[in-house]
């Protein structure tokens, strides 16, 4: 049952990464007010498909391309939350603290993301709601998510030993989350791709490991 849950969570996390990679090109394009259909991070041939979907679904709602595609960004947080919940809880205080911080930070980030993208209609007019959601809620939540991953991973390593691969992956994923924004410069997507990748690899390591998902109490 635990393996099945972990595998299902892994699939959800992979889908979350796919959503992030699909949203980044058009949102970066719209936010930077680029022209000519030259997409960053994606083939230019995708541009017409983005425009067609927005014209059919976003335009009637009065949403700019930036905010229309941003309406789907919350799915990244949902994927991360599902993945984090499926990871082993651990018995030690440090691992439980880290896992709890990771889960709570992703939930708070989800709220901030919803306010940021659902609180506006035009990319050139950031509302108070969208500004609060992004600047005061989502950004701090992203930082806490990265910290939670590192603390959680260190707790697992301390609890299970240096051969605990999920622990190593979580530490590395959390440490690389913020530098990941220098590769994909659009935030929060660039940070979340690294975070989701770390959670997904930790789930995969848990599936491949012969250790039980939950450590056995002595």
Per-residue pLDDT tens over the stretch 192-202: 999 999 999 99
CA dist list (Å): 196 to 17, 46, 79, 203: 6, 24, 8, 10
Q: Is the pLDDT of residue 218 over 90?
A: no
The overall average pLDDT reported for the chain is: 90
Q: CA–CA separation, 164 vs 143, rounded Å?
A: 24
Is the pLDDT reported for residue 209 higher than 80? no
| Matching residue, tokens 């030259």 | 38
- pLDDT of 124: 57
Give the C-alpha distances (Å, rounded to integers) separating 143 from 27, 173, 217: 22, 13, 32
- The mean pLDDT of 165-190, rounded to a whole number, is 93
pTM assigned to the model:
0.91
Residue 210, pLDDT > 70, answer no
Q: Where are the domains of the chain?
A: 2-208
């Amino acid at each position: 049952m635990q393996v099945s849950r972990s595998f299902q969570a892994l699939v959800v996390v992979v889908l979350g990464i796919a959503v992030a990679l699909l949203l980044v090109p058009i949102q970066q394009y719209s936010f930077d007010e680029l022209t000519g259909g030259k997409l960053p991070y994606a083939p230019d041939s995708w541009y017409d498909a983005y425009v067609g979907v927005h014209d059919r679904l976003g335009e009637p709602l009065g949403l700019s391309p930036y905010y229309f595609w941003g309406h789907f960004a919350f799915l990244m947080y949902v994927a991360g939350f599902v993945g984090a919940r499926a990871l082993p809880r651990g018995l030690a205080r440090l691992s439980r603290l880290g896992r709890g911080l990771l889960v709570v930070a992703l939930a708070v980030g989800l709220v901030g993301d919803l306010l940021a993208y659902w609180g506006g209609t035009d990319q050139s007019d950031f509302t108070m709601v969208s500004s609060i959601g992004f600047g005061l809620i989502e950004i701090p939540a992203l930082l806490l998510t990265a910290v939670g991953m590192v603390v959680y991973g260190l707790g697992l390593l301390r609890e299970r030993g240096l051969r605990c691969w999920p622990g190593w992956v979580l530490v590395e994923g959390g440490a690389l989350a913020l530098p990941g924004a220098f590769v994909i410069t659009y935030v929060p997507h660039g940070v979340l791709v690294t975070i989701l990748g770390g959670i997904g690899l930790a789930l995969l390591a848990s599936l491949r490991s012969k250790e039980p998902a939950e450590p056995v109490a002595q």
